[in-house]
Amino acid sequence: MNEIATRVPSAAVILLTSELNEEEFMAAVRAGATGYLTQSLDPKRLPFVVRGALRGEPAVPRRFVSRLLDELKTRERRRSVVLAGKGRIALTAREWEVAEMLLRSASTSQIAEQLGVAPVTVRRHVGSVERKLGVATRAEVIALLSTQAGAAAPA
């Protein structure tokens, strides 16, 4: 799905699944899906769902909407880190994604594959995080973010 979203950003990808799974749903959304529905959807509704997705409307089961809202609220809180003497440093959502993967010891190629971007894009994000945090290496990023406590550290 990452590849589709990367190659055709205007595509409206709707994942049809045999059963609803919250983690699969979140992974699909992160990969660029516009919708996530069960295969048991009434076939008469499918054209309306597809047309809605093409207009930018999400095709999401109501029970997962609260999960999306919680994810957005949590992500907003995670987008900054407080550093002694430097105050609050804001990182973009993508920079946090990259930083979180660095904390899990992912390589540049692993991060690029998971995010569906080129390795050079990952290196740019890492460089941006390093500059914002005032460090020179990935190891320093990891060490600095590992020592952050509570909501300021990426989850």
Three-state DSSP string of the chain: CHHHHHHCCCCCCEEEECCCCHHHHHHHHHCCCCEEEECCCCCCCHHHHHHHHHCCCCECCHHHHHHHHHHHHHHHHHCEEEECCCEEEECCHHHHHHHHHHHCCCCHHHHHHHHCCCHHHHHHHHHHHHHHHCCCCHHHHHHHHHCCCHHHCCC
Q: Which of 48, 73, 98 is the last residue of a domain?
A: 73
* Domain identity same for 96 and 124: yes
60 shares a domain with 7: yes
Co-location of 29 and 89 in the same domain = no
- Residue 101: CATH number of its domain: 1.10.10.10
Total domain count for the chain?
A: 2
pLDDT tens per residue across all 155 residues of the chain: 767 767 787 788 899 999 999 889 988 888 888 899 999 999 999 999 999 998 989 999 988 988 888 877 766 555 677 777 777 788 888 898 999 999 999 999 999 998 988 999 999 999 999 999 999 999 999 998 887 744 344 43
Q: 86 lies in which domain range? A: 79-152
47 & 97 share domain:
no
The predicted structure's pLDDT at residue 9: 74
